[in-house]
Amino acid sequence: MAVSDVARIDWRHEADVVVIGSGAAGLPAAIAARECGASVIMVEAEDDIGGHAITSGGNVPLGGGNAAQRAHGIDDSPDLMFRDLTDWSVVESNGFPDYRYNDHEIIRAFCDHAATTHDFLLKHGVAFIDQAPDARGGNAVGNSVPREMHCAAMDWPLVQTGKPADPAVRATTSTGNGLMRPLEASARRLGVQILLRHRMIALHRESPRSGRVRGIAVQTDAGVIDIFAHKAVIIATGGSTGNVNFRRMFDPRLTEEYCGLSGMPWSDQDASGEIAAMEIGASLWGLYNQMGEFGYSVTKPSAVGCQYNYQNLRWRPGSRVFHKARAIGLTVGDWQNVITVNMQGLRFYDETGRGFTTNNYNSINPYVQGDWRNAENVRYKANNWLNAAMAGIGDGKNGGGPIWAIFDAAACEREGWVAEPPHVDYAAGFCFRAESLAALAESIVMPHQRVPMPPENLEATVARYNAFVDSGVDEDFGKPKPLYKISTPPFHAAWATPVIHDTRAGLRINAHCQVVDLSGRVIPGLYCGGESSGGFSQHGLARATCQGYIAGRHAMSES
Ligand SMILES: Cc1cc2nc3c(=O)[nH]c(=O)nc-3n(C[C@H](O)[C@H](O)[C@H](O)COP(=O)(O)OP(=O)(O)OC[C@H]3O[C@@H](n4cnc5c(N)ncnc54)[C@H](O)[C@@H]3O)c2cc1C
């Protein structure tokens, strides 16, 4: 949509602050602005709130010397956390640095507000599991001290199952439901107006490259409407990894077959916030952080046979989005039970190989902040299953194509798998079954399988692998002592394609979360936080909630 003449717009709604997106950044932004006295409208594209945050594990690394850390004798501070999150010397075993390209202004703001954000979440009903902060779920949270706290499920129905957690574990189960439902309740209680099924499609600025942002255009079921913002618009749209063309600016390999984005099908990350802001002159920022091979930017799936197979998310039939997810997936307990092959039916890597690693508390031990020995002491390990899976087949096209886990009936026995719906998705082409390997290869027909799998390839691959089981040595990829032959029909080919997860590059912001343009100037009246913002390489909830809090509070200072 073209940038419009704001003077002639027939505004349907108005508020002091308009927040786009109701996830980990959006809800805190809305509440914080409301607490400062603003009238607030929050638009959400989906038919429920929460975004990826509500599907998340609820592990929140807000350190900085917060009340929970102090209560358990953990000696953290904004300064310690700042030095951790800007430490040039921390690298992963594949050589990629976690923190080297972070924007110091943005990290400083996070560190200075992290403990306050923790208090803010508590005040608005979030119950953290009553235990010392630890390292569980930590992903680029700094090496020096434990910072992860965990949101308790309590009695909130879980979006994954449609039911609350078992009462016996409600206070000890960590989940994003326990973060987002209390925040939603608090926002509604305070009078934040939440408009569901309202998708922002454009920002209105006084002129295309200058002046204040005055509001947004929104697609609703009844057509396009416009919402006026007296003070500010806050973009909290969750990132860009669901937009194929956008994500391919960072990595040309990430073509259409990577269709199992984590957090889907609850919500997407379609880059709508980034694109709308770029259309009025916004800059992107911290682009290395999207390309670096660390953390969850792309993940190895932990389940096979369904489209949405992100390692920390299983959809169950009671979920309100199960009709979109279609299958639960078969969780792989032991990658010895399968081989993974590409579109041509060829193995490409040791199946037990890991995805990218990430820095966490104690990952480097001993550790001295900024010491050259930290990088020197890291032992190189490629962790290349993902890169091999995305390498492609040499046909001149980008993208690795579908990756298939091949297994037999004996593997189902060992894993306790029931390779039937609702566990696997035969109907949409994410799982296939046949009585022979040749028939299995021929049966694999689905939109992303761009070449037929030659039956003779799959037969030869399995025969060679079975020989490795006999000899105990994987001569091709060094899989540690291959254990099980694939020989008992029926045989299965189950979707095991990498999953795209984090957005770690996005709009350029400053310490107040104000969006900055290509000349380095603030765009008046426009803010951004969470995965749609750039300059901060960290997984998830802490930076999103904290930046939402910062943006919401600062937005009210706009005149
Ligand atoms: C399965 C899973 C587990 C995770 N576990 C953890 C964890 O344990 N710890 C951790 O720190 N992080 C975790 N994360 C990551 C964390 O959830 C995200 O980083 C965080 O939610 C990002 O917050 P956000 O506000 O930027 O985006 P989101 O929370 O995704 O919210 C964005 C919202 O904006 C809406 N939206 C998008 N475009 C528009 C538009 N044009 N108009 C209106 N609305 C729009 C979306 O529908 C969505 O509701 C996990 C993520 C997933 C998917």
The confidence score (pLDDT) of residue 533 equals 98
CB count within 10 Å of CB 537 equals 30
- CA 154 / ligand 1 centre spacing (Å): 21
Give the residue among 198, 81, 179 at the shortest CA–CA distance from 127: 179
The confidence score (pLDDT) of residue 523 equals 98
- CA 106 / ligand 1 centre spacing (Å): 19
The confidence score (pLDDT) of residue 4 equals 57
* CB of 19 closer than 8 Å to CB of 26: yes
- CA 171 / ligand 1 centre spacing (Å): 23
- CA 167 / ligand 1 centre spacing (Å): 27
* CB of 419 closer than 8 Å to CB of 305: yes
* CB of 352 closer than 8 Å to CB of 338: no
| Token duo for residue 482 | 């291959």
Q: Whose CA is nearest to atom 12 of ligand 1?
A: 540
The confidence score (pLDDT) of residue 5 equals 76
- C-alpha–C-alpha distance, residues 547 and 330, integer Å: 36
Among 44, 46, 56, 203, the mutation site with the greatest number of ligand 1 atoms within 8 A of its Cβ is 56
Cis ω for the linkage preceding 490 (within 30 of 0): yes
Cis ω for the linkage preceding 317 (within 30 of 0): no
CB count within 10 Å of CB 291 equals 13
CA gyration radius, the chain: 24
Closest atom, ligand 1, to C-alpha of 50: 49
Q: Whose CA is nearest to atom 19 of ligand 1?
A: 540
Residue 315 main-chain phi, psi, to 5 deg: -85, 135
Cis ω for the linkage preceding 422 (within 30 of 0): yes
Residues 6+ apart with CB under 8 A from 327: 305, 306, 307, 315, 421, 422, 423, 424, 425, 430, 431
Closest atom, ligand 1, to C-alpha of 21: 34
Q: In a 3-state reduction of DSSP, which class is residue 460?
A: helix
Distances (CA, A) of 322 to 19, 255, 269, 314: 28, 25, 19, 10
The confidence score (pLDDT) of residue 1 equals 43
Domain annotation for the chain: domains and CATH numbers: 6-292+501-555 (3.50.50.60), 301-352+404-495 (3.90.700.10)
The confidence score (pLDDT) of residue 558 equals 79
* CB of 241 closer than 8 Å to CB of 263: no
Residues 6+ apart with CB under 8 A from 497: 257, 258, 260, 301, 309, 389, 400, 402, 403, 448
Closest atom, ligand 1, to C-alpha of 529: 26
Closest atom, ligand 1, to C-alpha of 57: 8
| Token duo for residue 378 | 């890291």
- CA 505 / ligand 1 centre spacing (Å): 14
Q: What residues of the chain score a pLDDT lower than 50?
A: 1-3
CB count within 10 Å of CB 164 equals 15
- CA 46 / ligand 1 centre spacing (Å): 12
Q: In a 3-state reduction of DSSP, which class is residue 339?
A: strand
Which amino acids bring their CB within 6 angstroms of ligand 1?
A: 20-26, 43-46, 50-53, 55-60, 137, 199-200, 236-239, 262-263, 267, 270, 272, 310, 312-313, 530-532, 539-542, 544
Q: Which residues pair with residue 151 across a beta bridge?
A: 128
Please report the sign of the dihedral spanned by the C-alpha atoms of residue 56, residue 61, residue 62, residue 66.
Answer: positive
- C-alpha–C-alpha distance, residues 509 and 559, integer Å: 19
The pTM (predicted TM-score) of the whole model is 0.97
Q: Whose CA is nearest to atom 3 of ligand 1?
A: 56
